[in-house]
Amino acid sequence: MLVLSRRSGEQVLIGKEIVVTVLEVRGGRVKLGFLGPEQVPISRKEIERKSAAPDDSKRRPGLVIASPGSDRSTQF
């Protein structure tokens, strides 16, 4: 496991196509943005675990995707 310290606005590159950006750090929470090819699925681990459970009706949006240089983001 690679452990890094990052500040708001800093990025981490995964391979050559995936960029993880620290969007905001507030208290004990960190907001991350992921940018990568459409064919690479990105999801939260707890959502993957819940999808195996019978009741998925309580799922909350949790993935925010922002285009580089854009103020617009999409939440899923």
Chain centroid, CA 38 distance in Å: 14
Q: Which of 21, 29, 28, 30 is nearest to 73 (CA)?
A: 21
d(CA 62, CA 52): 18
Structure pTM?
0.61
> Region 23-50: what's the mean pLDDT?
89
- The count of C-alpha atoms lying within 13 angstroms of the C-alpha of 26, restricted to the half-sphere facing its C-beta, is 4
pLDDT in tens, 51-74: 776 654 555 555 566 655 555 555
